[in-house]
């Protein structure tokens, strides 16, 4: 199976977690895009969606789905999103698509986080994928030095030779070379750096369920 076929398989499996008549939180990225296309097939059975990025909101609307502002929402049974890496405990690295802040905020409202990922994303130790950190633009140099002091190498993410600007108007530092043996401790430590908006470590609130696409079929990790 190709990676895209594995992503489609987990996106289809995730539909079983969507609660009819309720609001669903929707992540960002290529796997989430497969999920959005599957969700569109049952759009009349859900109340609305909340998007974790402008790109996701646009794709949902293009399918004719209602996209709500999170401020209008008090109950969200499930949030469904991909990951760049996930470990057996459900801790994840996210933010490869630069949407980590809105992803973490929308996920925080959901009762259940369902991660959908192809099998290549499952790791023993998080950190081979560079850890994204969203920062206030004026702070990227000082935050970068503090992140590097934690043992990695922080690099400003560029797009077309310029700093990539997130949906929130901020920059992303990608921290290379980390071996994250205690994800929760590192999430707390990075959260404490002044200038950091969000770290793409999802350990304090990890995935409740992971649907992993493998050659043997979709495996469910809980």
Q: Locate 51 and state its tokens.
A: 């998007």
Q: How far is CA 87 from CA 15, 37, 66, 121, 212, in A?
A: 23, 27, 33, 8, 11
Phi, psi of 150 (to 5 degrees): -80, -5
For residue 94, the minimal CB distance to ligand 5RP (Å) is 3
x/- binding map, residues 27-46, to ligand 5RP, per CB under 6 A? xxxxx---------------
- Residue 112, number of CB atoms within 10 A of its CB: 16
Sort 188 into a burial class: Cβ within 10 Å, 0-12 / 13-18 / 19+.
middle
Does 217 appear as a known binding residue? no
Q: Contact between 127 and ligand 5RP (CB under 6 A)?
A: no
Q: Contact between 94 and ligand 5RP (CB under 6 A)?
A: yes
CA pair distance 170, 90, nearest whole angstrom: 27
Looking at the Cβ atoms of 145 and 220, the one nearer to ligand 5RP is: 220
Which residues form the catalytic set? 103
Looking at the Cβ atoms of 81 and 174, the one nearer to ligand 5RP is: 81
Note the residue count of the chain: 222
Does 151 appear as a known binding residue? no
For residue 21, the minimal CB distance to ligand 5RP (Å) is 26
Does 121 appear as a known binding residue? yes
Q: Please choose, out of 24-32, 151-159, 162-170, 184-192, the segment that lies near ligand 5RP by the rule CB under 6 A.
A: 24-32
Q: Quick one: which of 35, 81, 144, 198 contacts ligand 5RP (CB under 6 A)?
A: 81
Distance of CA 76 to the CA centre of its chain: 17
Q: Which residues sit at the interface with ligand 5RP, rule CB under 6 A?
A: 27-31, 81-84, 94-100, 103
């Amino acid at each position: 199976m190709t990676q895209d076929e594995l992503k489609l398989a987990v996106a289809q499996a995730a539909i079983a977690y969507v609660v009819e008549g309720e609001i669903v939180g929707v992540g960002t990225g290529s796997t989430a895009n497969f999920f959005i296309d599957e969700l569109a097939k049952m759009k009349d059975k859900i109340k609305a969606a909340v998007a974790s990025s402008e790109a996701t909101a646009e794709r949902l609307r293009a399918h004719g789905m209602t996209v709500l502002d999170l401020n209008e929402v008090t109950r969200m049974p499930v949030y469904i999103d991909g990951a760049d890496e996930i470990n057996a405990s459900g801790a994840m690295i996210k933010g490869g698509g630069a949407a980590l802040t809105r992803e973490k905020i929308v996920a925080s409202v959901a009762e259940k986080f369902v991660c959908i990922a192809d099998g290549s994303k499952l790791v023993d130790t998080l950190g081979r994928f560079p850890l994204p950190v969203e920062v206030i633009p004026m702070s990227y140099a000082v935050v970068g030095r503090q992140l590097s002091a934690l043992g990695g190498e922080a690099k400003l993410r560029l797009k077309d030779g310029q700093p990539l600007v997130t949906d929130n108007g901020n920059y992303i530092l990608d921290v290379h070379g980390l071996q994250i043996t205690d994800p929760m401790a590192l999430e707390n430590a990075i959260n404490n750096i002044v200038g950091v908006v969000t770290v793409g470590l999802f350990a304090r609130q990890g995935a409740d369920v992971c649907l992993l696409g493998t050659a043997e079929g979709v495996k469910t990790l809980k």
